[in-house]
């Protein structure tokens, strides 16, 4: 028997943070080690309890009020910026007027300005560099970031696999289909990539998907498989097919899609 | 160009999560809103993708929280009053149970070190280990262990209080 998995590895496995080879090694160990499997279950239960307790003490975010405050602070910040720009424009104009007056005075033969230039500036042959007006520095546009999808996959536990979305926003769309092979997989794209993944034997939890899309593949060979969102079972495997709850009208489709809030 | 950023949409999307994080950090709704506002104001004029903006906001907010905590500690030393630990007052629509739960959760969070609390709460907002490690200033490899320990400690403190509460009732 290989040495037991440490707490950090179990936690990283739950949080979907183990790289594929480490995850495979950890899962292989868990399949053979009741002690570590027990530790993982305990840690998973602890996490669920932590999330539930924190949620009970939360205060609703005062979004509407806060947004009004933010708008007025934004307006004030904009005015300040405008005020600064206006002052700088005035200063530039004043310098331009002075410069023009100087040139005009120098062009008049016998003027003291012209005499001063002939006596001091020209003999030194100083190259007077005209300040070149630089275009306003433009912040470089950020390079488009390749949005790598986030996802996890697990093997069913005793033929069973459950995919559970918790705290998912109403706009999240979940597409489920049956897949060949042993693994159940969940892939999040768009804003759903920010969701947190937790895996425990036969269970994948996707916590806090804010928007975007979650694609679920349930292994065709699983005895029992389901997808639930915010406490309601929405898709279940029945025999060799998927059934949405409530069942969708229309012809059977290889894919069952639902909107969390729909 | 910064004009292209829809700050209203960004605010609506990111404020609830930032507020929840800060409220859990501070236990104070006003402080949470103030810090969140200030963080959003500092975001103005910066042009970055939403995911980057989100981590940026949480980083700035965490630094602002640290600064405000330091200031309030200094003030406490000067005034020699008891440590700042706002007790949530029951609202009329809150039952006694909920008020007690809130106080126990607060105690559980306050017993964690600032860094552990921040890491645990950032994880609850769905940040990845590498992002949490960056803001907390720890090695990414240690995040799992630190999170597991912090979660255990939080639940242990909560349970001790629950036990005490039951004894007092019994």
Give pLDDT, residue A191.
Answer: 79
Describe the crossing of helices B50-79 and B7-26 by its angle, rounded to 10 degrees. 40
Strands across the sheet with A173-179, in order?
A150-154, A184-189, A213-219, A173-179, A255-259
Topology of B1-86 in CATH?
A: Rna Polymerase Sigma Factor; Chain: A (1.10.1740)
What residues of chain B, 36 to 95, have a C-beta less than 8 Å from chain A?
36-37, 40-41, 44, 47-52, 54
In angstroms, the CA A217 to CA A184 distance is 5
The pLDDT of residue B96 is 72
Helix (H) or strand (E) holding A225: strand A224-229
State the DSSP code for A190: G
Q: How buried is A220 (Cβ within 10 angstroms: 0-12 exposed, 13-18 middle, 19+ buried)?
A: middle
Instruction: Find chain B residues with C-beta within 8 A of A58's C-beta.
Output: 20, 23-24
The separation between the first and the last C-alpha atoms of chain A, rounded to the nearest angstrom, is: 49
Q: What is the ipTM of this complex?
A: 0.85
User: Which pLDDT value is given to residue B1?
Assistant: 43
| Phi, psi of B130, rounded to the nearest 5 degrees | -65, -35
pLDDT digits (tens, 9 = 90+) for A90-127: 667 667 776 676 666 666 666 665 665 555 555 444 44
pLDDT of residue A131: 43
List average pLDDT for each run of 10 residues in chain B, which is 170 residues long: 74 95 95 96 91 95 89 62 49 69 94 96 94 96 97 95 68
pLDDT of residue A154: 80
Domain boundaries, chain B: 1-86, 87-170
Interface-testing mutation among A48, A77, A135, A194, with chain B (most B C-beta atoms within 10 A): A194
pLDDT at B24: 96
User: Per-residue pLDDT for A252 more than 90?
Assistant: no
Q: Nearest-CA residue of chain B relative to A71? A: B8
User: What pLDDT does residue A71 have?
Assistant: 93
Stretch A224-234: mean pLDDT: 87
pLDDT score of A239: 80
Kindly state the helix (H) or strand (E) to which residue A206 belongs, with its residue range. strand A203-207
Architecture of domain B87-170 in this structure? Orthogonal Bundle (1.10)
Nearest CB among A58, A74, A193 relative to B20 is that of A58
In sign, the C-alpha dihedral spanning B16, B18, B24, B29 is negative
**pLDDT value at A54 more than 60:** yes
> From CA A217, how far away is CA A180, in angstroms rounded?
9
pTM reported for the whole predicted model: 0.58
Among the listed residues A193, A190, A225, the one whose alpha carbon sits nearest the alpha carbon of residue A206: A193
Judge whether B21 is closer than 8 Å to chain A, CB to CB.
no
**Distance between CA atoms of residues B61 and B40, nearest Å:** 9
Q: Is the pLDDT of residue A16 over 50?
A: yes
Q: What is the pLDDT of residue A130?
A: 42
Closest chain A residue to the Cα of B157, Cα to Cα: A50
Q: Which residue has the tokens 């269970």?
A: A203
């Amino acid at each position: 028997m290989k040495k037991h998995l440490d707490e950090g590895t179990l936690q990283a496995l739950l949080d979907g943070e183990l790289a594929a080879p480490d995850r495979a090694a950890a899962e292989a160990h868990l399949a053979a080690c009741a002690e570590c499997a027990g530790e993982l279950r305990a840690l998973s239960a602890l996490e669920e309890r932590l999330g539930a307790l924190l949620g009970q003490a939360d205060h609703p975010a005062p979004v509407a009020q806060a947004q009004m405050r933010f708008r007025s602070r934004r307006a004030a910040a904009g005015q300040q910026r405008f005020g600064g720009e206006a002052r700088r424009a005035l200063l530039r104009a004043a310098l331009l007027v002075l410069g023009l007056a100087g040139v005009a005075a120098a062009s008049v033969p016998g003027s003291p300005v012209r005499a001063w230039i002939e006596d001091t500036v020209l003999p030194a042959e100083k190259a007077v560099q005209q300040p070149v007006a630089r275009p306003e520095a433009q912040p470089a546009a950020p390079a488009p970031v390749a949005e790598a999808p986030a996802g996890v996959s697990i093997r069913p536990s005793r033929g069973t696999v459950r995919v559970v979305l918790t705290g998912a926003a109403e706009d999240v769309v979940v597409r489920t289909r049956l897949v060949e092979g042993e693994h159940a997989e969940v892939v999040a794209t768009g804003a759903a990539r920010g969701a947190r993944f937790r895996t425990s034997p036969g269970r994948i939890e996707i916590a806090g998907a804010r928007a975007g899309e979650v694609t679920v593949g349930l292994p065709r060979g699983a005895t029992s498989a389901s997808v639930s969102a915010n406490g309601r079972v929405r898709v279940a495997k029945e025999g060799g097919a998927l059934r949405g709850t409530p069942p969708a009208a229309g012809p059977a489709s290889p894919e069952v899609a639902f909107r969390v809030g729909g | 160009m910064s004009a292209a950023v829809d700050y209203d949409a960004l605010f609506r999307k990111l404020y609830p999560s930032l507020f929840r994080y800060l409220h859990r950090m501070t236990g104070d709704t006003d402080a949470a809103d103030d810090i969140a506002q200030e963080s959003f104001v500092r975001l103005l004029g910066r042009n970055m993708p939403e995911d980057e903006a989100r981590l940026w906001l949480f980083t700035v907010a965490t630094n602002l929280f640290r600064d405000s905590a330091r200031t309030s500690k200094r003030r406490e030393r000067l005034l020699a009053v008891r440590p700042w630990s706002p007790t949530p007052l029951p609202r009329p629509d809150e039952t006694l149970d909920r008020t007690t739960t809130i106080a126990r959760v607060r105690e559980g969070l306050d017993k964690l070190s600032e860094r552990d609390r921040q890491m645990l709460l950032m994880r609850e907002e769905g940040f990845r280990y590498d992002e949490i490690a960056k803001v907390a200033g720890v090695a990414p490899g240690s995040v799992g262990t630190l999170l597991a320990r912090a979660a255990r400690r939080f639940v242990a403190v909560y349970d001790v209080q629950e036990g005490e509460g039951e004894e007092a009732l019994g």
